[in-house]
Amino acid sequence: MSEERKKTNIILFSGDYDKAMAAYIIANGAAAYDHDVTIFHTFWGLNALRKDDKMLVDNKSTIEKLFGRMMPRGAKRMGISKMNFGGFGQKMIKDVMKKHNAMPVEDLIEMAQEQDIQLIACTMTMDLLGLKKEELIDDIVYGGVAAYIGEGEDGAINLFI
């Protein structure tokens, strides 16, 4: 009788670099332990999935355009949760990470995709913040709460970050 694979499910709500890094380290570690892993990105956690490049997208309201300008484009532009000091704290932590050969979040995201970790972008939050699919990285899944609940109900590990 074959054993069913364990599931690890993570809700990434935070838009902080260090919290996104923790989520992706846990996700990649769980995948290495042969878990099926899902990361559901909602609210500020969606910034980890944004493309780095500035994009001109049609049909955005003024508020949606403002959200787009105020939110960081991509994981490498996200601030850290404590001691950010106007972006200087993030530079310091990245220097320390480089010194210790720790992977930056953008590389952890790429590794997650290589390990077939399911990255879900919350469509309700995308609508609220005015984010369009073309503004997010390729090879992700789009879904609402039902998509997360469908994955999360059988999870051996469920985390909210």
Model confidence at 1: pLDDT above 50: no
1 lies in some domain: no
**Sheet arrangement for strand 7-12:** 141-143, 118-122, 36-41, 7-12, 157-160
Indicate whether 2 belongs to any domain.
no
Domain that holds residue 95: 7-160
The predicted pLDDT at position 90 comes to 84
- Nearby residues of 9 by Cβ (< 8 Å), 6 or more positions away: 37, 38, 39, 40, 148, 151, 152, 155, 157, 158, 159
Does residue 73 register a pLDDT over 50? yes
The tens digit of pLDDT for each residue in 106-123 reads: 999 999 999 999 999 999
**Could you tell me the CATH number of the domain that includes residue 52?**
3.40.1260.10
* Residue 129: predicted pLDDT: 93
Split into its structural domains, the chain has a count of 1
- What's residue 119's pLDDT? 98
At 22 the pLDDT is 96
> Residue 84 is which amino acid?
N
CA gap 78, 89 in Å, rounded: 11
- The stretch 27-39 carries a mean pLDDT of 96
Is the confidence at residue 35, as pLDDT, over 80? yes
Please, which residues bridge with residue 77 across strands? none
111 within domain boundaries? yes
